Structure 1
Amino acid sequence: MVALSRRSTLACRSPEPPCCSGRTLHVTRQCLSIRVTGRRWLGRPLHQFNRTIRSSASVVGEQGDGQPVQAAITSPISSATQFAAALYQFSRPHTMIGTALSVVSISLLALAGAEPGRVAIVALLQALSSALLMNIAIVGINQLYDIEIDKVNKPYLPLASGALSPTQGAAIVAACAAGGAWIGLASGSPALLATLLVSLALGVLYSAELPFMRWKRSPVLAAGCILAVRAIIVQLGFYTHMRTALDGAAAAAAAAPAAPAAAAAATSPISAAAAATGGGALDVLTHLSPSMWFVVVFMLFFSVVIALFKDLPDVAGDSKAGVRTLSVRLGEGAVFRICVAMLTTAYAWAMVASLTLPAALPARAALFCGHGAMAALLLARARGVDTGAKGHLTDYYMFVWKLFYAEYLLIPLFG
């Protein structure tokens, strides 16, 4: 096998090709000839070239008939496409979808049926963009510290497969974390910035192999990290961010005739809102609606289930690495049954709550039927799962994520 630079040209000719100008590489089964100048050819037996000559991505091998063949040289477009595909896998798309749906859903719940104006749109875009960037940073940190484990459990991930180097992974994490934090800071929203930074801190505590960290080794701490982010911080943080922006804009508009600062609201609505309300974020947190409290508690159940389900397909790698998750300790079957029972209970409670919380009858009917349908699907799929088969557990875990997405489609109806 011989690797060529992009500046070389491959041809299958005789060992002593005709003279021509420029640099040309000729390969036969007996001899490799390189034209170095316009006047002199150097020929060497191929067995003397026992070291692979490496450069860019072009490889010369043999076809079935023994004739040399040139592999395609990687183009910049191809390299960019490969990097984009690796980055897509690195972002863990199912978590990105969950984050996007949660931000949009909670923001709509905070609107409480009001028409979204410019302030609401700006607040939503700030929350959505910064949350997605921070999501990439958090899942990236986990992959950086789990490379050896992922080679067993998830060999398709870019760091485990070698599609991305650890240096590239660290650079992506740093860029996304900095970008998300900058958006949160520039928004002037304390609730948004706190949500992003606390989520990042918990992500580091969960994954980093540092003293007093690597909380994923403890089932209690691991579940605590996930439910804190997915069930509490995300719900309360983005809800408070949106409500503070809306309340601040309303206060600024009411004070516009007497307040010169009202002009600033046109250029920086979120900053003006924060200035107008002062302790608005604290006021929002202390006056949460019953619907919002229900969402927080329901998502606590759901997040615990996801935290436990996440480890079910990874028992082999976790056990080998000494990570004593609950699935490793109790076995896949026991943890699977616990998760299904918990989620079924949560759906039953949601069906009861849907009869009282929304004001409109159509919303009540949609919530009751929706949660009933998801509970039925959960139990129907569970009957066909072989807890001893990793593929079955992985498929069911991804199905639970789909139920998680579907819940965020229903949450705005509680408003």
Structure 2
Amino acid sequence: MAFGHLVSIPRSTSSVATVGSYGTRALWQSNRNVTKEQSIKTCLQHNISKLHYKGIEGGSTTHHKIHKTSLINARSSAQSHESEPQAHEKSQNDPLESIKRALLIFLKFSRLYVFFGMMIPAGLSSSFLAVDNFSEISPILLVKGILQYMVPFFFTFQFNVGVNQVSDIEIDMINKPDLPLATGEYSFTFGVILVASFLLTSLGLAWMVGSKPLIWSIIVAAGLMAAYSINLPLLRWKRSTILTVLSNAMSMMASFHIGPFLHMKTFVLKKAATFSRSMLLSCFVVGCLYTVISISKDLADVEGDKAAGLKTLAIRLGVKQVFWLCISLIQMAYGIAITMGALSPVLWSKIVTVLTHVIMLLYVWNHAVNSVDLSSKDSLQSFHMFMFKLVTVECVLVLFVR
């Protein structure tokens, strides 16, 4: 930067050119023997000498301004070069900065927005559906029962997302290059240790709680995701379209719906494991939405999946066909919900269930036609995330089913 300022200064007389020539030779010679800071100082001194010389010669005001600007820029460059190492050293030595950076990296690894976006609406909805009469349970016991399930399952969820990242580093370098294992911010060994720690922690907490539905839901969810991800004989189920859909949909159903429902019903309330009408509808509609989530997650990852030799449904049938298959499954799920709502013996429940699901059906169709660009990877990823919003809405709607 300083050298650029030096050679770009106009020269109106031969004497100035001579000074510039000697100054340039001196600067090149200094680069061989001194550090960057010394070179910048040499540049500053040279600019000062040129400015002084020009003032003696009585040069034009324009040239004087150019020399002055060059001097200011050279000084700014020197200050910036001096401040960069100081800022870097500060970030390295500041413990708060180190903690902040570690938390940001973990947030990318953990996908917490998915956990809270799924567990809070789905887990709460399923827990409430297990309660037949809220007068028979205290708020403290209800909150305690919900936390007993959510806290251990937080670590199970971290295992589920982590084991997939550990197994898919090369694929994620293409599809999701910002993930810590793909960027190298986490090493493979550290990733394995972290994932194993999450699984052991979740099982340990579940054993301390003593809830059998909680323990079994953790085993089922973690086992299915391990079978889906790990590249071992008889595993790596993501190679198969059918096994991919089954493992993902069943894992989410066990984690966010059946698990918390049975935990609240049998462990907290000490009742028999009977499924209400609203819970059955929830399992069917949300199960269809989870199936769509399992299929649509590959729509934006065709490039990386092809490079890895995977044969996902999006690769076999094409993005367009799979997208409209997803829309058809959603419409079918809402059609069943409308039918069950129309058959409800409770008038207000019938009206609410039918009307809300008709609105959702029309909304999804409008979104598919007007808001999704099948040629855009970002748009397809946005559609996949849109499915989680539909799950959240459905978890609220099923509370009104009677």
**Band of TM-score, shorter chain:** 0.7 to 0.9
TM-aligned CA deviation for residue 335 of structure 1: 0.2
Identify the residue that residue 205 of structure 1 maps to in structure 2. 227
Q: 1:30 to 1:296 in 2, by over 3 A?
A: same
Contact 2:278 2:399 in 1 (8 A): no
After the TM superposition, which residues 8-407 of structure 1 pair with which residues of structure 2 at under 5 Å, given as runs?
A: 28-30=37-39, 65=77, 68-69=81-82, 70-71=84-85, 72=87, 73-74=90-91, 75-96=94-115, 97-115=117-135, 116-117=137-138, 118-232=140-254, 234-248=256-270, 283-284=272-273, 287-357=274-344, 360-384=346-370, 385-407=372-394
Contact 2:206 2:214 in 1 (8 A): yes
Contact 1:94 1:401 in 2 (8 A): no
Larger relative contact order, structure 1 or 2 (CA cutoff 8 Å, min sep 6): 2
Q: One-letter code of the match for 1:121?
A: V
Q: One-letter code of the match for 1:217?
A: R
SS at match of 1:175: helix
Q: One-letter code of the match for 1:244?
A: T
Contact 2:288 2:333 in 1 (8 A): yes
CA deviation vs aligned residue, 1:191-216 (integer Å, no higher than 9, x gap): 11111111111111011111111101
CA deviation vs aligned residue, 1:6-26 (integer Å, no higher than 9, x gap): xxxxxxxxxxxxxxxxxxxx9
What TM-score comes out, normalization by structure 2 length? 0.75
CA deviation vs aligned residue, 1:276-328 (integer Å, no higher than 9, x gap): xxxx6xx41xx322332222222221111111101100000000110110101
Contact 1:381 1:396 in 2 (8 A): no
Higher strand share: 1
Distance 1:410 1:177 in 2: 33
Identify the residue that residue 256 of structure 1 maps to in structure 2. none
SS at match of 1:370: helix
Contact 2:277 2:401 in 1 (8 A): no
Which is higher, the Rg of structure 1 or of structure 2? Answer: 2
Contact 1:138 1:204 in 2 (8 A): yes
Distance 1:375 1:135 in 2: 30
Q: 1:132 to 1:371 in 2, by over 3 A?
A: farther
Q: One-letter code of the match for 1:291?
A: S
Q: One-letter code of the match for 1:29?
A: Q
TM-aligned CA deviation for residue 100 of structure 1: 2.7
Q: One-letter code of the match for 2:37?
A: T
CA deviation vs aligned residue, 1:231-284 (integer Å, no higher than 9, x gap): 356422221111113442xxxxxxxxxxxxxxxxxxxxxxxxxxxxxxx6xx41
Q: 1:31 to 1:146 in 2, by over 3 A?
A: same
TM-aligned CA deviation for residue 101 of structure 1: 2.0
Distance 1:221 1:305 in 2: 14
Distance 1:122 1:173 in 2: 27
Contact 1:350 1:371 in 2 (8 A): yes
TM-aligned CA deviation for residue 146 of structure 1: 1.0
Distance 1:228 1:198 in 2: 9
TM-aligned CA deviation for residue 336 of structure 1: 0.3
Q: 1:321 to 1:369 in 2, by over 3 A?
A: same
What TM-score comes out, normalization by structure 1 length? 0.73
Distance 2:224 2:279 in 1: 23
Distance 1:380 1:83 in 2: 41
Distance 2:113 2:292 in 1: 16
TM-aligned CA deviation for residue 112 of structure 1: 2.7
Q: 1:337 to 1:382 in 2, by over 3 A?
A: same
Higher helix share: 2
CA deviation vs aligned residue, 1:37-61 (integer Å, no higher than 9, x gap): xxxxxxxxxxxxxxxxxxxxxxxxx
SS at match of 2:157: helix
Distance 2:76 2:182 in 1: 32
Q: One-letter code of the match for 2:108?
A: Q
| Structure 1 moving runs of 4+ over 6 Å | none
Distance 2:364 2:358 in 1: 10
Q: 1:327 to 1:180 in 2, by over 3 A?
A: same
Structure 2 unaligned segments of length 5 or more: list them: 1-34, 42-73
CA deviation vs aligned residue, 1:132-159 (integer Å, no higher than 9, x gap): 2211110111011111111111112222
Distance 1:232 1:171 in 2: 25
TM-aligned CA deviation for residue 64 of structure 1: 7.4
SS at match of 1:65: helix
